[in-house]
Amino acid sequence: MSLKFSLSLRNARAQANIDMIDAGVNAGVMNFYTGPQPESGAAITTETLLADLELSDPSGTVDEGVLIFSPVSDELSAQADGDIAWCRITDSDGNYVMDLDCGITGSGAAIIFNSLSVLLGGTVKILSGSITEGNL
């Protein structure tokens, strides 16, 4: 399937994502888990929560159909050992917004790290995050 959207529609879709993340009273949250990744929005079962990082508010900006996440403060005390496999974003009220892939520089993933390995009590630092809307 080929999807081709106008720039104005791509920008609106990206802004709608930001609005959903920022819908709660406070900033949204990125929760990083080990695998396997469940179906979109499905309950967390055997996955281990490694870190939860509070997003900025607003959580991002839109430029040319790309949602670019605002800088995220480091998690200074990871909750468990493991390898980050994916990310679930919720608004500050805990409402599911989206699941994203994670990777290292050059992977093309939505959320980029130097390393996906996390140690209990260690620092988790996001290098960047973005979502490109449409025109795939």
Please give the average per-residue pLDDT across 115-124, as a whole number.
97
Q: Residue 98: what pLDDT?
A: 97
**Partners of residue 88 on adjacent β-strands:** 31, 99
Q: Residue 37: what pLDDT?
A: 93
Residue 77 lies in a domain: yes
For the chain, how many structural domains are there in total?
1
Q: Residue 136: what pLDDT?
A: 61
Residue 52 lies in a domain: yes
- Provide the 3-class DSSP secondary structure of residue 53: strand
Residue 1 lies in a domain: no
Residue 2 lies in a domain: no
CA distance 82 to 125: 15
pLDDT per residue as tens digits for the range 24-68: 899 999 999 999 999 999 999 999 999 999 999 999 999 999 999
Residue 122 lies in a domain: yes
Give phi and psi for 42, each to the nearest 5. Answer: -70, 160
CA distance 102 to 73: 17
Residue 85 lies in a domain: yes
Q: Residue 3: what pLDDT?
A: 80
Q: The pTM is what?
A: 0.93
Cα–Cα distance list, 3 to 62, 104, 135 (Å) = 19, 27, 5
Q: Residue 134: what pLDDT?
A: 80
Please give the average per-residue pLDDT across 113-129, as a whole number.
97
pLDDT per residue as tens digits for the range 97-114: 999 999 999 999 999 999
pLDDT per residue as tens digits for the range 61-92: 999 999 999 999 999 999 999 999 999 999 99
Cα–Cα distance list, 68 to 39, 79, 109 (Å) = 24, 26, 13
Share of the chain above pLDDT 90, in %: 94
Cα–Cα distance list, 115 to 38, 53, 105, 125 (Å) = 22, 16, 9, 9
Domain containing residue 77: 7-37+45-132
Helices (H), ranges, the chain: 7-21
